[in-house]
Amino acid sequence: MKFDVITLFPKMFNSPFEEGIVGQAIKAKKVSLSMWNPREYTSDKHKSVDDRPFGGGDGMVMLQKF
C-alpha cells in the first residue's frame, strides 16, 4: 500500500510515522510513504505556494500556475 502526503512541513511527519504500527508496517515493506513538499516545485525565488482567496476575506489558497 502506498501513501503520498502533500505538506509544507515534511519533517514534522517523520517521527509519528517511524513509531508504532505504521512504523512497523513501513519497516516490513507492507506500506510505503512519500512526502511531497510543494515548495520544491515553485519557480519564484521566494518559493511561494499561497495565493490570495478569491473574493477577499480570510483563508489561504494554494497557488496554481500553468
Would you state the cell numbers that stand for residue 16, as one nine-digit string? 509519528
Confidence (pLDDT) at 65:
66
Would you state the cell numbers that stand for residue 45, as one nine-digit string? 525565488
Q: Of 4, 10, 18, 16, give the one whose Cα is nearest residue 39.
A: 10
User: How many Å from the N-terminal Cα to the C-terminal Cα in the chain?
Assistant: 31
- Which residue matches cell numbers 515553485? 42
For domain 2-62, the CATH architecture is: 3-Layer(aba) Sandwich (3.40)
Cβ atoms of residues 61 and 52 within 8 Å: yes
Domain boundaries, the chain: 2-62
Per residue of the chain (66 residues), what is the pLDDT tens digit? Answer: 999 998 888 888 888 888 889 899 999 999 998 999 988 988 888 888 887 777 777 777 777 764
